[in-house]
Amino acid sequence: MSLPPWTSRGSCRDAETLVSELFYISGAVAVLATFMVITRTNAVHALLYLVVSLLAVAMVFVTLGAAFVAALEVIVYAGAIMVLFIFVIMMLNVGTAGDAEERHLLAPRFWTGPAFLAAVLLAEFVYLLTRSRNAVIAVRVGPEEVGVALFGRYLLGVELASLLLMAGLVGAFHLGRRLPKEKEGAQ
Amino acid sequence: MSGMIEKLLIVGIVLGGALFIASGLIWLERRLLGLWQDRYGPNRVGPFGTFQVVADMIKVFTKEDWVPPFADKAVFVIAPAVIVATILMPFAVIPFAPALQVIDLNVGLLFFLAMSALGVYSVTLAGWSSASKYSLLGGLRAAAQMLSYEVFMGLSLVGVVLLSGSFSLGRIVEAQQGLWFCIPQFFGLVVFVIAGVAETHRLPFDLPEAESELVAGFHSEYSGMKFGMFFVGEYLGVTLISAMITTLFFGGWMGPFLPPAVWFLIKTFFFICFFILLRASLPRPRYDQLMALGWKVMLPLSLMNIVITGGILLARG
């Protein structure tokens, strides 16, 4: 596999090789943690590995110079969405019955087919990666750059996403609303 | 190389200082509560009872460290470590004095929010892994409460970021030269303090613990040093939030005559005492009252604060 182009640049070489090593280590952690997510039978354990995986991805963002995105990754995904998942699992509290069902689903006849197809795609991906020379592009992206891109060039996308969130919010409100007293009695 | 040693020294000072203050608070809180409730508090061990901390530590270290057989062992053991780790990490980005800061990240404020977001796991997982009704209820309350108040905590800080134009805590302190943010960002301060109390689940917002209804809530099943970690974690949280209030709204290390670090300590100490006074004087609300306060008062208040601050900044150009 060819080295990233900036490893042989001389002056600040040590720092850059260190950063690229950190990149590959955190990438490996992310892949390993994600594998553990799939193979755990206990839902909470799986979610904890998913949190580790998200933290590792945040670390990957830091090594690529996007500390702002890394912080958002931790705050939004690891800190809010995953907590909601755990909250729901705690509410359901399925116990050992859920574990048994999960173990049943991990039988080889369920996963060999998809795993084979995914492996083909992975092989293609690795082949393409080893041929391209600009695998890692390290550019520092701070909060300002993200803000300018979001509210300048991609303003329409941001507005559309906020509309979608609004629709979700209205839907949740509709589902969770309290019925008027007389209707409640009738049901 | 000397730069490296200096950095390590600063890390040592910050970590040691935070832990020292947190353990000192165990004594301070009980003494102050005693004062405000017309009784003595611990005054037997050593001068003014200050060695009570040592006595408590010996007790907590030598107690039987017991993991209930029905608990999820791995998660049960990890949970108390998570809270201490996630609360100690943000101390790295706080500027205690112009040169006394471990690292001035340009996303320092977000780093603090990220770490307090991860802190939720500790309490929630402790409640879940204990496999007991009271713990589970405490964990559920903690998850919903901390998740909600995290939102307002983040929103209340937008005004500060707007005024200083940076997420770096060092720059935020420097931007307060002349006028501390507690005046133009008064509503931001109010929301941040209330959200801070809820985030550290201190009284009056200690519903995840609520000893009158849930035994001891999420840490009912914990004993020995694992319980001690939650205990110290809570005091570390109080110290952290007080230090953040000082940094974000009260000019950080700025002040006349005295050296910067001393000013920082004085201000932080003041807010720590304020936290303890809250505990001494306010009753605990019901859980739905807590959530209603959050979503019906704090959210509109912090959103209004953002709109008004942004409008004024825009008008000023």
CATH number of the structural domain spanning residue A108: 1.20.120.1200
Q: Is A40 helix (H, G, I), strand (E, B) or coil?
A: coil
Instruction: Give the largest Cα separation in chain A, rounded.
Output: 79
CB contact under 8 A, A90 and B150: no
Which DSSP letter does residue B218 get? G
- Which tokens in the block code for residue A136? 């890692």
What value does the mean pLDDT take over residues A163-170?
A: 93
Residue B225 contacts A, CB cutoff 8 Å: no
Predicted confidence (pLDDT) at residue A3 exceeds the cutoff of 70: no
B307, B155 contact by CB (below 8 A): no
- Give the burial class of B43: count Cβ atoms within 10 A of its Cβ; 0-12 exposed, 13-18 middle, 19 or more buried: middle
Could you give the ipTM of this predicted complex? Answer: 0.80
CB contact under 8 A, B75 and A51: no
CB contact under 8 A, B117 and A71: no
Query: What CA–CA distance (Å, rounded) separates A62 from B19?
Result: 28
| Residue A148 belongs to some domain of the structure | no
Predicted confidence (pLDDT) at residue A115 exceeds the cutoff of 90: no
Distances (CA, A) of B81 to A36, B96, B199, B219, B227: 21, 25, 17, 13, 10
Name residues whose C-beta falls within 8 Å of residue A100's C-beta, 6 or more positions apart in sequence: none
- Which tokens in the block code for residue A160? 């559309």
pLDDT band at A120 (very low <50, low <70, confident <90, very high): very high
Domain assignments of chain B as residue spans, ordered by start: 66-316
Q: What is the pLDDT of residue A134?
A: 58
What value does the mean pLDDT take over residues A4-8?
A: 43
DSSP run (H or E) holding A22: helix A13-39
Closest residue of chain A to B161, computed from CA coordinates: A143
B278, B203 contact by CB (below 8 A): yes
Q: What is the pLDDT of residue A165?
A: 92
Point out the least confidently predicted range of A22-26, A182-186, B73-77, B227-231.
A182-186
Residue B117 contacts A, CB cutoff 8 Å: yes
Query: What CA–CA distance (Å, rounded) separates B161 from B310?
Result: 11
* pLDDT by 10-residue block (mean), chain B, 317 residues: 79 86 85 86 80 84 83 85 89 84 82 88 85 83 85 88 86 84 85 89 78 77 83 88 90 81 87 88 85 88 90 86
Predicted confidence (pLDDT) at residue A1 exceeds the cutoff of 50: no
Query: What CA–CA distance (Å, rounded) separates B195 from B179?
Result: 24
Residues B146, B152, B158: CA angle, nearest 5 degrees:
135
Q: What is the pLDDT of residue A2?
A: 40
Q: What is the pLDDT of residue B265?
A: 87
Smallest CA-to-CA distance from B192 within B233, B245, B142 is with: B245
Residue A44 contacts B, CB cutoff 8 Å: yes
CB contact under 8 A, A87 and B147: yes
Residues B291, B116, A21: CA angle, nearest 5 degrees:
145
Query: What CA–CA distance (Å, rounded) separates B73 from B102?
Result: 35
DSSP string across B285-308: PPHHHHHHIIIIIIHHHHHHHHHH
Give the relative orientation of helices B299-316 and B133-156 as an angle to the nearest 10 degrees: 20
Predicted confidence (pLDDT) at residue A5 exceeds the cutoff of 70: no
Alpha-carbon Rg for chain A, nearest whole angstrom, is 22
Query: What CA–CA distance (Å, rounded) separates A149 from A134?
Result: 23
CB contact under 8 A, A75 and B154: yes
Same domain for A92 and A158: no
Residue among A45, A70, A90 minimizing CB distance to B140: A90
Same domain for A160 and A124: no
Query: What CA–CA distance (Å, rounded) separates B101 from B170?
Result: 9
CB contact under 8 A, B143 and A72: no
Give the relative orientation of helices B73-88 and B108-129 as an angle to the nearest 10 degrees: 160
Same domain for A167 and A134: no
Q: What is the pLDDT of residue B293?
A: 87
Mean pLDDT for all residues in chain A: 79
Query: What CA–CA distance (Å, rounded) separates B27 from B279?
Result: 15
Same domain for A173 and A95: no
- Which tokens in the block code for residue A33? 């943690």
| Residue span of the structural domain in which A130 resides | 5-142
Same domain for A77 and A24: yes
DSSP string across B201-215: T-TTS-TTT-TTTST
Predicted confidence (pLDDT) at residue A166 exceeds the cutoff of 90: yes
- Which tokens in the block code for residue A38? 């799939």
Smallest CA-to-CA distance from B237 within B132, B128, B300, B153 is with: B153
Q: What is the pLDDT of residue B37?
A: 85
Query: What CA–CA distance (Å, rounded) separates A132 from A3?
Result: 11
Same domain for A136 and A52: yes
Predicted confidence (pLDDT) at residue A11 exceeds the cutoff of 70: no
Query: What CA–CA distance (Å, rounded) separates B303 from A83?
Result: 24
Task: Provide the 10 A C-beta neighbour count for residue B280.
Answer: 15
Q: What is the pLDDT of residue A10?
A: 45
Query: What CA–CA distance (Å, rounded) separates B240 from B15?
Result: 12
Same domain for A166 and A119: no
Smallest CA-to-CA distance from B310 within B176, B155, B185, B162 is with: B162
Same domain for A170 and A138: no
pTM flag (> 0.80)? yes
Task: Provide the 10 A C-beta neighbour count for residue B55.
Answer: 15
pLDDT band at A167 (very low <50, low <70, confident <90, very high): very high
Same domain for A91 and A47: yes
Same domain for A130 and A94: yes
Residue among B105, B113, B128 minimizing CB distance to A90: B128
Q: What is the pLDDT of residue A163?
A: 94
Name the minimum distance, in Å, from the CA of A120 to any CA of chain B. Answer: 36
What's the pLDDT tens digit per position in A121-160? 989 888 887 776 655 556 677 777 888 888 888 889 999 9
Predicted confidence (pLDDT) at residue A183 exceeds the cutoff of 70: no
Number of domains observed in the structure of chain A:
2
Residue A107 contacts B, CB cutoff 8 Å: no
- Which tokens in the block code for residue A78? 């690891």
Smallest CA-to-CA distance from A73 within B177, B223, B2, B107 is with: B107
Residue A71 contacts B, CB cutoff 8 Å: yes
Query: What CA–CA distance (Å, rounded) separates B143 from B221?
Result: 18
B87, B236 contact by CB (below 8 A): yes
Same domain for A183 and A112: no
Q: What is the pLDDT of residue A14?
A: 66
CB contact under 8 A, A90 and B144: no
Closest residue of chain A to B136, computed from CA coordinates: A90
Predicted confidence (pLDDT) at residue A9 exceeds the cutoff of 50: no
Q: What is the pLDDT of residue B255?
A: 79
